[in-house]
Chains A and B, each alone.
Chain A
């Protein structure tokens, strides 16, 4: 019971801050609301007994991606952007499409028999060492893991190349 109340509070805070991310007037406010929403998701990971991913969420999303976004906000800041219209003209079409998708997905999900199921047995505490072994096991996920690391390396090299300014007169 206390767990359910706590879940509802966290979910409400996360959804409200997510809504403020997409509607806040200042870009910096959006970025800071995004940090709160990501923290809420990290708490939900902890609820789901995925302790490793709760920590990774805080480290990667809040520690790296949110800071990257704040850097981008500060590097592209103009006072004019904060005062003009921040939504496109047909924003109500986007609102209708999102609401329709929400209603459709909830209705489709609620017809599924596993919708109201309770949690099964909790994870074995030895699952994290097992997960680490599986990520480098050639018969399991070694190839996806290596592909992901090459993707990340290529993306970071590409990001540095794109964002670094060309020398004057050359580019």
Chain B
């Protein structure tokens, strides 16, 4: 039997690793990867709370948490598509993927 604490500590650790990547890396593609890790940590948290508190009970709407997770998935997919398109567009104009060099609105 795995206590809820293990999942929570795991997702906190995953979130903090992703946060470190977002804050410290220069490359914009790796920053996006860090954001993906953080979104995954959130999903683990949501599913863990669903499994431990709501999955088996019939009066607490067990599908509510699943709807949350589905929408986080959709948001992650949309974010990855738009973010990578922006990086490719910026690379085409400025020949760089380093976040520090992307400092102009007009290419």
Contacts and interface: CB of A to CB of B under 8 A. Distances in A.
Interface residues of B, number: 74
Given A15-B17, A76-B87, A115-B4, A159 B40 contact: no
A76 B85 CA distance: 11
Interface in A111-134: 114-124, 127, 130-131, 134
B55 A56 contact: no
Interface string A42-80: 001101111011001100110011001101110110100
A77 B59 CA distance: 53
A77 B18 CA distance: 22
A121 B98 contact: no
A127 B91 contact: no
Contacts of B91: 75-76
Given A48-B51, A81-B98, A155-B81, A86 B25 contact: yes
B16 to A, nearest CB: 4
A34 B33 contact: yes
Contacts of A121: 55-57
Contacts of A30: 29-30, 33
Interface in B52-107: 52-53, 55-58, 62-63, 66-67, 69-71, 73-82, 84-89, 91-92, 95, 97-98, 100
Contacts of B70: 56, 135, 145, 148
Given A155-B82, A162-B86, A95 B24 contact: yes
Contacts of A115: 3-5, 8
Nearest to B14: A18
A9 interface: no
30 contacts: A15-B14, A18-B37, A22-B17, A22-B20, A31-B29, A48-B7, A49-B55, A60-B73, A60-B76, A69-B32, A69-B36, A72-B88, A94-B23, A97-B23, A98-B20, A109-B5, A109-B12, A115-B4, A115-B5, A123-B51, A124-B56, A127-B66, A140-B63, A141-B67, A148-B70, A148-B71, A149-B74, A155-B77, A158-B82, A159-B81
Closest 7 CB pairs of A and B: A121-B56, A22-B21, A155-B78, A94-B23, A159-B85, A163-B85, A123-B55
